[in-house]
């Protein structure tokens, strides 16, 4: 909260006075003693974050390839390639284990 000096219009500073906190002006002799403490907290509403990979629907129509799962050693995995860095860098390949019980995700 910004409070301005009624005499010169500059921003008032909060400082420790003889009887507690007070507003004071840095350019003129204006001083106003603070009699009561008023505080309010406003918490910003967080926006919903979308799943980076597109959620469960992203894996519905993808191809599978021969790749060994690092968790269960299953020999097939679904894959998709996404450009995660700049255009001169290679695409990142994401895998999901074809084993329904495992379903482990990893990237290459």
Note the pLDDT of residue 107: 86
pLDDT digits (tens, 9 = 90+) for 59-106: 778 888 999 999 998 999 999 888 888 989 999 999 999 888 888 889
Rounded CA separation 78/35 (Å): 67
Q: 58-88 as b/e, with b when 16 or more CB fall inside 10 Å?
A: bbeeeeeeebebeeeebeebbbbeeeeeeee
Greater pLDDT, 98 or 49: 98
Note the pLDDT of residue 72: 92
**Residue 94's CB: how many other CB atoms inside 10 A?**
21
Q: How much is the pTM?
A: 0.51
Backbone dihedral angles phi then psi of residue 73, each to the nearest 5 degrees: 65, 20
Note the pLDDT of residue 25: 94
Given a cut of 70, is residue 1 above it in pLDDT? no
Note the pLDDT of residue 10: 93
Q: Domains of the chain, with CATH numbers? A: 1-36 (2.20.25.10), 57-107 (2.20.25.10)
């Amino acid at each position: 909260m910004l409070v301005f000096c009624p005499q010169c219009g500059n921003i008032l500073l909060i400082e420790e006075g003889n009887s507690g906190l007070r507003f004071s002006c840095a350019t003129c002799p204006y001083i106003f003693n603070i009699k009561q403490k008023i505080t309010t907290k406003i918490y910003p509403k967080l926006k919903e974050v979308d799943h980076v990979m597109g959620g469960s629907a992203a894996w519905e129509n993808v191809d599978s390839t021969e790749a060994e799962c690092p968790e269960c050693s299953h020999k097939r995995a679904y894959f998709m390639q996404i450009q995660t860095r700049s255009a001169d860098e290679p695409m990142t390949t994401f895998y999901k284990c074809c084993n329904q019980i495992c379903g482990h995700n990893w990237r290459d």
